[in-house]
Structure 1
Amino acid sequence: MNQQWRLDDGQQTLVLAARSGRLPECVYWGAPLPVTEDLVALHAAYALDVTGGMLDENPDLSLCPQSARSFPGQPGLVLRCTDEIRMLYGLCFVDAQQNGPDLRLSYRDAAAGIDLTFSFTTDPQTHVITCQTTLNTDRPVQVDWLAAPVLPAPQLSDEMIDVSGRWCGEFQLIRTPWSAGLRMREARTGRSGHEHFPGLIVPNRGTTNCQGEAYAFHYGWSGGHRMLAEELPDGRRQVQFGHATNTQAAGTQFQTAPLYITYSNTGLNGCAVAFQRHVRDRIVTDAHPVRPVHYNCWEAVYFDHKLPELQDIATRAAALGAERFVLDDGWFGLRDDDTSSLGDWTVDARKYPHGLTPLIDHIHSLGMSFGLWFEPEMVNESSALYRAHPDWVLGPMDQIRGRQQLVLNMASADVRDYLYDRIAAILSAYDIGYIKWDHNRLLPAPDAAQTHGTYALLDRLRADFPQVEIETCASGGGRIDFGILKHTQRVWLSDSNDALERLRIQHDAALFLPASVTGSHVGPRHCHTSGRTIDISMRAWVAAQRHMGFEMDPRELTDHEAKVLTDVTAWWKANRDWMMRADILRLDSADPAVIAEQQLAQCGSRFVVFAGKAATSAQIQPRPMRLTGLDPAATYCINVINRDHTPGLSRGNPALKSGPLTLSGAYLMHHGVTLPWHFPETMWVLEGTRK
């Protein structure tokens, strides 16, 4: 019995096929196939030859490769009885259900008492396929490894792109050549992590941001995870994602997180746009439709909270254009530094003798909403909570501390109930529209139950306080993934407010994240994390590329700086409705010193280009910058909107320096636009509209 199934979303086709009732293989994934494609012939064409030194048949690279079928690479399922006896299994077809965009395939090993189900859902609007593996067993087993549906990687690829990083240096793209053997990334810090973002892009040879084929994966899970990219001895390649190994307790029911996949024939941007739209339109829910300009007071006051100063800061922030004020760490317990009070979620009467009401009333009088910082999953030893419940700590008591704190056991219902009660009391007592939810240390060990517990608490709070938006922060970008975004509405991309670092971080993060959920703030003149001093114009325009905010002391601003920031903020407000739904397209810059992107309205009628010069160029003259995604037959009026910042060393007269130009989409995409000369650490901003 041979079987075939296909999934289509208009941008890609996925074909699964199986022989003799065995587990299915992905026999095609790529550009859309004709509706008349003969899947039986396609399945036959997929078969490989056999030669000397091989088995008499090629073991299936199935959706869950099986050791029992002599598969020569990493298997998709490793489990054992609770008495440590490793189980072998042979799964056979049970059922297939296909209903429109959904496909569900079920398999069973009756002797071992194992049921395995693969589910796929296509989305014709976002062009993302969501796939998941579910395991059920008749008796408790220990699962060491369970992969989401395993897919092949393309043969015409020379490299893979995965994502590393660190605190204040998130989303670093790592290009690794394919070679015989295994590329394995495993996050064992208990969160998706700065170091191992759960994403992978596999470009075909010659692919750039704007052209060529690419395949992309994202594992939507906020705990420890594992990625395998393996080239088998016979040359085939597989990609696996799942929870980190040995992080789930014995049981009878197991399920991977969703694996989100997409294919593009328009370069890396095609994958990026699919993920951006899917996050914005399918994963993030209940976000305020108008993204307010955000002010966070952390880098202005740190733990030194004084009501008159905070009111003054709020007044100045509102004058600059802020619409939301977030009170950060230091408002609760006896919190004067990071050594105490985590877990004691009551307002500090020393700093706020009348509670938060005077501050909130002042903020509301300025037309701003109010947000508040929490770090619910953590506890300090110097806290009433720890003294009452040291047994609520996750891990051994002799573990290494992190930022003077320990982790609460979020798998415990008692812990979650306590946290819910304390947070709900604050949300009920005050008019709060926003929570910054922080997570500032690694777990002592990866534990899937910890992540499930955090999700449960977030869901309970959101159900009872639906008006409250939640930002996910973990020392900046330490917990950013599609899993946490199902429960939150914004990410704090990095603790770095250095505009040059942010320029690169958010540019690379756009491969997965839309502008509407990506917080980007104007930091202090003298950056607190890098020590670099950056001009206000660069700081403001970098923040204007995403969900804009401020995070500095507005009392430090000169009149000139205040005017620049006010003007850029006003521009962002005038454009945010379309920009927060625009596609972020990374441009192929001819100058390595220039990091450039084009935000294109979904209707294609307008765009904005941000061309940031992060370093000194090797050549004197700016190289033409090719745009992308335009109608080649249409004409566009383009204009540099910040030409008043042209430096004196720009002595020539390129056309854009003096006024707008009208050019064809074909010219703009194949030759590009020539911008005036400018200094390093500055940015040109170019608006375009279709005539």
Structure 2
Amino acid sequence: MRAWRLDDGRQTLALAATGDRLPQVVYWGARLPDDEDLSILQAAQMIDVTGGMLDENPDLSICPEATRSFPGQPGLVVRAQSGTPMLPKFCYHGDDAGEGALTLTYRDADHGLALIFSFAIDPETHLITAKTTLEADAPVHLHWLAAPVVPAPQLSEEMYDFSGRWCGEFQLNTTAWSPGMRYRENRTGRTGHEHFPGLLIPVRGATNAQGEVYGFHYGWSGGHRMVAEELPDGRRQVQWGHASRLEAGAATVFETAPLYMVYSNDGLNGCAVAFQRHLRDRIVTWAKPDAPRPVHYNCWEAVYFDHKVDVLKDIANRAADLGAERFVLDDGWFGQRDDDTRSLSDWQVDPRKYPEGLHPLIDHVHDLGMSFGIWFEPEMINPDSDLHRAHPDWALGSEDQTLGRQQKALNMALPEVRDFIYDRMAAVLRDHDIDYIKWDHNRVLPMPDAAQTRGSYALIDRLRAEFPQVEIESCASGGGRIDFGILKRTQRVWLSDSNDAIERLRIQHNAALFLPLVVTGSHVGPRTCHTSGRVIDISMRAWVAAQRHMGFEMDPRELTEEEARVLREVTAWWKTNRDWMAGADILRLDSADPAVLAEQQLCRTGDRFVVFAGKEDTSRQIAPRPIRLTRLTPDAMYRIELINRGTAHHLSRGTPELKSTPITVSGAWLMTQGITLPWSFPATMWVLEGTLTDKKER
């Protein structure tokens, strides 16, 4: 018997193998004692055999093998270069165990194959990073390779995963466990609005703030596949990998993307904080790590393709007056780009719109104290473009393919394509003082292809190497490419193209299960939302944007004096608090009122927090229900202030203490009784500030 374990202060992952067979995860959960006998755990977790079963239960190993009679989905499907199916049987070859890391190597000598499994556990963020690599002595065709496979908890009744659409990302799905499998596969060639690669498995009774939850995220920006399967004997497995048949050609090395896993003993928030911290502190590489996150202005919903330098300068003046610190020039500055049907890939400044080039606008923006950013969609091409006319063979897919937004994708697997796009983008960046790129990706691919994703990664990596001071935002029609793979190369995501504050309230609430504030762009949109048609008050729009990396994306010329005043006030509040909020944990609160989505952003030191309680619908009951806070010190005292109490409607006629003065109460009271907020209409937000204090006030 061979056994290994990985530990941090929260959890233990234990693996054990019988003889030379592939190991199984025999335990994953709360931290075990250091002297726990793993051989006993392996023997104790074996299930019994009865009628209608094999004489021994096949292993649910970290790569379940069809050749060992495994009755469920195998972890590897591979064919020889001739097309003949291979049924390998892997045996132990070696291991390398270090502090918080483990590598296991297994070989099938007859087929000339090797599987290498790597695990690493982070003692501070608590994330486990796991990966599988397949090596072959001769080229083989890969159909499916799973990252290390783990069992799912037996006391779980359901699982949560995520679907969505354009302007409606991060919709939470609840699926009951039952015999058979939950199979989700994204074959669009990008992460996708439709299938965010995340999974949360709560143990019975878990909520946002309490109970056991297991979390997964597959860090890959191409198509992916998830399998959550319950076998006939009751065991459950979770598999993640690239979408099946994503590798077009035969090769001798294949590897999965990193699979990020975590066990939480304090609800969904335990998973959320682990993912947030690991992404922010371990994965993202910051262009300017010591600089505060700047208030963002994007001109897209102000001018669209109608670029006029004098108009843009006026808009920049107004944005700076409102508190913006970065100005982003969106689509329409290049080629003959008067609409979305032409000029993608012709990355040269349009002399009709910019007769003196971009320098006059950039200089004006800099004179206002703002930095300058610009929009590209590097991986795409319009048939009506100079590049397509010169190189139609550079487009990915067939000549008669269905277009998306009147465009095709460039074949990023071709080095000559990457070189061309790099040269055009690098020329713009060298010739102008630009420190930000909004990198868009506005259509799904005509076919899934892992080489496309690897080519896009290579282009971004090359640009970042030459221009390390340039920050990159990942945008794909909004939230269509958000994952830890793209965020290893970028520093911000555009969470959704919807600037409807009510819709973003929910999108941001669910995305916080994986994303911290500092990478999550959120903008104050127009009074009448361009994607929903809804008219929303400036206070709600501003406070929803202030929940994340704040920005504006509207025409500031439409603002009334009162709207401008409110926006300046909220922006000033965000700037005052952004330094501590940048490192804060976003905690979802368990709201007793389904109409209220509430979160608590808690400083890492625990001495201050802010609560955002947004009302997205009409409450069923008359009076507001209390909202319990979380992760406070029970016997400590906190000063609580409703900082936007002045916005209370005149129909809020009562005299709750918070409407007139701050209160000082214990952490125990806040976490057990909870805060009762004043009455409010839908589409409004209450904002509470909490500060640790030793003083007792009325």
Q: Which runs of 5+ in 2 are unaligned?
A: 694-698
Report 1:303-322 matches (<5 A): 303-322=305-324
Letter in 2 for 1:19: T
Q: Distance in 2 between matches of 1:250 and 1:453?
A: 17
Q: Secondary structure at the match of 2:43?
A: helix
Report 1:71-220 matches (<5 A): 71-220=70-219
Q: Secondary structure at the match of 1:133?
A: strand
Report 1:479-628 matches (<5 A): 479-628=481-630
- 1:256 lines up with 2:256 in the alignment: yes
Q: Secondary structure at the match of 1:449?
A: helix
Q: Secondary structure at the match of 1:532?
A: coil
Structure 1 position 42, deviation (Å): 1.5
1:478-506: per-residue Cα shift (whole Å, max 9, x none)? 01000000110000000000000000000
1:301-358: per-residue Cα shift (whole Å, max 9, x none)? 0000000000000000000000000000000000000010000000000000110000
Report 1:417-432 matches (<5 A): 417-432=419-434
Q: Distance in 1 between matches of 2:409 and 2:493?
A: 21
**Counterpart for residue 442 of structure 2:** 440
**Counterpart for residue 33 of structure 1:** 32
Q: Distance in 2 between matches of 1:447 and 1:168?
A: 25
Structure 1 position 287, deviation (Å): 4.1
Among 468, 471, 477, the alignment partner of 1:466 is 468
Q: Distance in 2 between matches of 1:106 and 1:661?
A: 60
**Counterpart for residue 267 of structure 1:** 267
**Counterpart for residue 687 of structure 1:** 689
- 1:347 lines up with 2:356 in the alignment: no
Q: Distance in 2 between matches of 1:260 and 1:156?
A: 22
Q: Distance in 2 between matches of 1:314 and 1:626?
A: 42
1:405-445: per-residue Cα shift (whole Å, max 9, x none)? 01100000000000000000000000000000000001001
**Counterpart for residue 226 of structure 1:** 225
Among 671, 674, 677, the alignment partner of 1:672 is 674
Structure 1 position 82, deviation (Å): 1.8
Structure 1 position 526, deviation (Å): 0.3
Q: Distance in 1 between matches of 2:93 and 2:245?
A: 28
Q: Distance in 2 between matches of 1:651 and 1:567?
A: 25
Q: Distance in 2 between matches of 1:250 and 1:541?
A: 52
Structure 1 position 210, deviation (Å): 0.5
Letter in 1 for 2:683: E
**Contact 2:287-2:470 at 8 Å conserved across structures:** no
Letter in 1 for 2:250: A
Structure 1 position 69, deviation (Å): 0.4
**Counterpart for residue 285 of structure 2:** 285
Q: Distance in 1 between matches of 2:365 and 2:140?
A: 55
- 1:637 lines up with 2:636 in the alignment: no
Letter in 2 for 1:170: E
Q: Distance in 2 between matches of 1:47 and 1:663?
A: 51
Q: Distance in 2 between matches of 1:83 and 1:109?
A: 19
**Contact 2:209-2:589 at 8 Å conserved across structures:** yes
Q: Secondary structure at the match of 2:315?
A: helix
Q: Secondary structure at the match of 1:197?
A: coil
Q: Distance in 1 between matches of 2:242 and 2:39?
A: 35
Letter in 1 for 2:594: P
**Counterpart for residue 52 of structure 2:** 53
Structure 1 position 37, deviation (Å): 1.3
Structure 1 position 679, deviation (Å): 1.0
Structure 1 position 607, deviation (Å): 0.3
Report 1:349-388 matches (<5 A): 349-388=351-390
Q: Distance in 2 between matches of 1:540 and 1:322?
A: 13
1:285-309: per-residue Cα shift (whole Å, max 9, x none)? 0243410000000000000000000
Letter in 2 for 1:586: R
Structure 1 position 219, deviation (Å): 0.3
**Contact 2:287-2:469 at 8 Å conserved across structures:** no
Structure 1 position 12, deviation (Å): 1.1
Q: Say how many residue pairs are matched.
A: 690
Q: Distance in 1 between matches of 2:539 and 2:582?
A: 21
Q: Distance in 2 between matches of 1:117 and 1:252?
A: 13
Q: Distance in 2 between matches of 1:135 and 1:66?
A: 14
- 1:475 lines up with 2:477 in the alignment: yes
Letter in 1 for 2:113: I
1:15-51: per-residue Cα shift (whole Å, max 9, x none)? 0000011100000001111112121211221111111
Q: Distance in 1 between matches of 2:382 and 2:470?
A: 26
Letter in 1 for 2:262: T
Q: Secondary structure at the match of 2:404?
A: coil
Letter in 2 for 1:191: R
Q: Distance in 2 between matches of 1:178 and 1:397?
A: 44
Q: Secondary structure at the match of 2:160?
A: strand
Letter in 2 for 1:526: T
Q: Distance in 1 between matches of 2:88 and 2:654?
A: 74
Q: Distance in 2 between matches of 1:140 and 1:394?
A: 24
1:155-214: per-residue Cα shift (whole Å, max 9, x none)? 000000000000000000000000000110000000010001001000001111011000
**Counterpart for residue 646 of structure 1:** 648
**Contact 2:327-2:373 at 8 Å conserved across structures:** yes
Q: Secondary structure at the match of 1:442?
A: coil
Letter in 2 for 1:264: S
1:101-128: per-residue Cα shift (whole Å, max 9, x none)? 1100000011110010100011011100
Structure 1 position 580, deviation (Å): 1.2
Aligned sequence identity (%): 72
Structure 1 position 648, deviation (Å): 0.4
Structure 1 position 233, deviation (Å): 0.4
Q: Distance in 2 between matches of 1:330 and 1:33?
A: 58
Q: Distance in 2 between matches of 1:380 and 1:649?
A: 54
**Contact 2:287-2:468 at 8 Å conserved across structures:** no
**Contact 2:295-2:549 at 8 Å conserved across structures:** yes
Q: Distance in 2 between matches of 1:36 and 1:653?
A: 59
Structure 1 position 10, deviation (Å): 1.1
Q: Secondary structure at the match of 2:85?
A: coil
TM-score if structure 1 supplies the norm length? 1.00
1:632-654: per-residue Cα shift (whole Å, max 9, x none)? 11110100000000110111101
Q: Distance in 2 between matches of 1:131 and 1:9?
A: 15
**Counterpart for residue 246 of structure 2:** 247
- 1:9 lines up with 2:11 in the alignment: no
Q: Distance in 1 between matches of 2:556 and 2:648?
A: 26
Q: Distance in 2 between matches of 1:124 and 1:52?
A: 45
Q: Which runs of 5+ in 1 are unaligned?
A: none
